[in-house]
Amino acid sequence: MDPNRPILCVTPNPSIDRTWVVPGFAAGRVWRAQDVSAQCGGKGVNVARVLGRLGRQAIAAGPVGGHTGHHAADLAALEGLATAWTWITAQTRTCAIVVNPETGDATVVNEPGPTLSPDDWDRLTDDTAAAAGTCAAVAISGSLPRGVAPDAVARLIGAVQDRCSEVYIDTSGDALASAVAARPLAIKVNGDEVGALTGQRCSSHTEAVAAALTLQRQGIALAAVTLGAGGAVLADATGAWTAAAPRVEVVNPIGSGDAFLAALIAARVAGLPPTDWLRHAVAAGTANALRATAGDLHNADVERLLRETVVQPAES
């Protein structure tokens, strides 16, 4: 694994994310936004954005199309993201995020996005596999577009693994089950996602460790489970660890799971030990929550939170 190679970050269903900061927001009234921003969005794009903030070269990829797709691509270019888009004819979606800075709550409305044809998905698979051959790692993050069967993610993983063995997956539902069956190197999920997969409650460190070990028994070498403000756990062949998230005043939690994954990959690619993978991931995920827009974390926040994040061996 060459740490100087870029990390390919694939979003199967990209978007334009429009974020409104609205103090006191509640449904059913007329509000004026305090601040508005728009950026190229989707979980994989957020991962690429955070990797850039952390000083790692990353490439954002995924299917984009129509007027909104060109706008999303322009927004990515304006912020300096390297990209390798697969162009389709259907319109890329737009998603709405309303942040209440007084409470740290975020209200999200995700459009379903375009319907991809089999040819669209085949081209995305081919493009992703080709790009993977020049990368240190590949992260595939987010939901599948309409028209794409859950088992398509397994085919995508298989195509990528032929070119790059370091494959990280963050998805949910039937797509997650398909991904686990394909046995990528790593799975990153939150407590709700892994709970739905295993049929077991997952809201504590103990339950999250059990879920991570279940994923390992299914052939996943590296399993991470995030619990929001409750921190996260990580398990690999050498052990399992837990970390509590530092306490902060949350501005917007959207994208914190993506920041977690980005920092985990960056730390692993850099050759750090597993305990530091988890420590860096939790610090970055927490730092993301201090900002109104996803992925806009500050390195000074990450460095401070690294000192406040304590990683411990999981209780056996």
- Which residues are known to be catalytic? 258
CB neighbours of 57 closer than 8 A, spacing ≥ 6? 4, 5, 6, 7, 51, 82
Radius of gyration of the chain (CA): 18
**Which residues sit opposite 141 in a β-bridge?**
170
Helix (H, G, I), strand (E, B) or coil at 37: strand
d(CA 111, CA 98): 14
46 with 259: CB under 8 angstroms?
Answer: yes
* Count of all residues that appear for the chain in the document: 316
113 with 15: CB under 8 angstroms?
Answer: yes
The one-letter amino acid code at 176 reads L
Q: How many other CB atoms are found less than 10 A from the CB of residue 255?
A: 28
99 with 22: CB under 8 angstroms?
Answer: yes
d(CA 65, CA 147): 15
The one-letter amino acid code at 292 reads A
118 half-sphere exposure, CB direction, 13 A CA radius: 1
* Nearest alpha carbon to residue 119 among 98, 90, 142, 88: 88
Q: Whose structure tokens read 């995020």?
A: 97
